[in-house]
Homo-oligomer: A and B are copies of this chain.
Amino acid sequence: MNIGALHSILLVLSTVHAFQYNQLAQYIDEHQEDYVEALRDWVAVESDSSNVLRRSELHRMMEMVAQKLQQMGGSVESVDIGEQELPDKQRLALPKVVTAQFGTDPTKHTLCVYGHVDVQPAKLEDGWATDPFNLTEINGNLYGRGASDNKAPVLAWMHAVEAYQKLSLELPVNVKFVIEGMEETGSNGLEAMILAQKDSFFSDVDYIVVSDCGWLSRRPAITYGTRGNCYFLAEVRGPKQDLHSGVYGGTVIEPMIDLIGILDTLISPSGKILVPGIREAVAPLSDDEWRMYQDIEFDVDDYKNKIGVSKLMYNNKVDLLAHKWRYPTVSIHGIEGAFSDPGTKTVIPSKVCAKFSIRQVPNMDPAVVEKKVSEHLHSVFAKRHSPNTLTVSMVIGAKPWLADIQHPLYEAGKAAVKRVFSVDPDLIREGGTIPISRTFQDVTGKSIIMMPIGGFDDGLHSQNEKISRFDLSDFCFLSVVLFLQMLTQQLKKNTRGRSALDYFSESY
């Protein structure tokens, strides 16, 4: 084929593309209300994976996912991934993982969409302005727990496939789904499932896309790395039961005071991790990284104002982004077993369990972190000569993930973003943890791209989580376009011996 012929083909392709784009964009716009209603149904389910009392809701959520995919005509499976062991040794069924497949054309690339439909805890009294499980629209924003993390993005990918179907357009790629219900607590059981299906469900997957993240600013972004997370429980047990602080105070060594004493040795006021052997493992910041960070659209003052604090841990962009993305940190989330309600209870809690986590970055190893933290806490606890007992356990140990941004998948992603938003995306990392990115990479050896679906101010994990009504459409459209862009990449790479022209001449 000479250059002139190739040029003509690309021109045809471009015209066909443009036609498809318009059809799909119009369809998506017209169905925005349906997308809001679908999200409302999903948000209404309190699929909090961290609360065992909500497990039946989580099972129901997974069934709703399977039903939706079945209604779309997918080949759907609900995969039993076994049980989890609770701290009290009870065993509890994990929510099934739902897999689905649309299209089995061996000549097409296969894109696997990963998402999760479990959510963080939420209670009205935590400071939500609206019922967190009743999707509520205020000024174009749709408020509800899980709206942005991760129910709307999961729906966006499904609605993208549906748009092709309803318009009777052939999907440019085979699309697979892997939807889980334990992401917020460390994707318990999913890694084993991926390993088990490595040579079956995942054998023909070429690329994996994850939309469990957000933009950094008003500029669209593509994410190429995430931090991992080691989540710890440090429990101090003392008296048989809670005691009256008047009656017993002064005679017993209080577990709460022991616990506060050891928690105070984790991190300094200036953010330095004090656990020996943690900081030493961190990969140094390279000059390339430094330069890249300099160019990213990020306004330190905006960030500060958005959070509502007068001072951040670092006051320049590069340090701040580096500590958000590629350095570890300690967060202390809370204490279970102590008095946490309003009021003035005069209790000596008998058993208190602190929850804290250390974010993981290359080249940290969760197994080493677990050992170092446990050794450190037991060492400082021993110095207190307390009769109470300390138990340290790491209940989540998720590794960080980092992708090769030179991979053609990222070219497709960048082009898709540019097509939809008319601007080049920032290449960013994510401070949060999507454990499965790293697992996919390790187990399947395939490339993963993270396409953020959700605004930079969506309030993931906090009160008043929301997604914009308009994001629902934009991101559905982004999903649609990525399918097409992958076709273009396929044409360029021609890895399967079939050109995009063949595809278009058959289809249209």
Contact = CB atoms under 8 A, between A and B. Distances in A.
A115 interface: no
A52 interface: yes
Contact of A324 (B250, B324, B340): B250
Contact of A246 (B264, B309, B430): B430
A308 B241 CA distance: 8
Interface in A329-343: 329-343
Contacts of A346: 120, 184, 229, 231, 331, 333, 357, 432-433, 461
Contact of A461 (B121, B244, B261, B430): B244
Nearest to A216: B247
B345 A249 contact: no
B463 A308 contact: no
A227 B250 CA distance: 12
B324 A349 contact: no
A431 B328 CA distance: 45
A243 interface: yes
A320 B331 CA distance: 38
Interface string A42-62: 000000111111000000000
B333 A339 contact: yes
A323 B253 CA distance: 12
A106 interface: no
A335 B349 CA distance: 12
Interface in A296-319: 303, 307-314
Nearest to A312: B251
Interface stretch (A150-158, A198-206, A380-388): A380-388
B342 A334 contact: no
Contacts of A276: none
A14 interface: no
A344 interface: yes
Contacts of A185: 343-344
A359 interface: yes
Contact of A269 (B245, B253, B310, B332): B253
Contact of A342 (B51, B248, B307, B308): B51
A432 B246 contact: yes
A87 B248 CA distance: 28
A270 B261 CA distance: 12
Contacts of A250: 271, 313, 323-324, 327-329, 359, 431
A420 to B, nearest CB: 23
A378 B121 CA distance: 33
Interface string A126-170: 110000000000000000000000000000000000000000000
B344 A269 contact: no
Contacts of A455: none
B333 A240 contact: no
Contact of A460 (B53, B244, B312, B350): B244
A437 interface: no
Contacts of A240: 307-308
Contacts of A431: 246-251
Nearest to A465: B244
A13 interface: no
Contacts of A488: none
In the complex, the 9 A-B pairs of residues with the closest C-beta atoms, listed nearest first: A246-B432, A50-B343, A240-B308, A334-B339, A334-B338, A250-B329, A244-B461, A311-B387, A340-B340
Given A48-B343, A241-B463, A250-B327, 15 more contacts: A50-B344, A51-B342, A120-B346, A121-B345, A184-B344, A240-B308, A245-B461, A247-B431, A253-B312, A256-B331, A256-B334, A261-B269, A269-B383, A333-B345, A334-B349
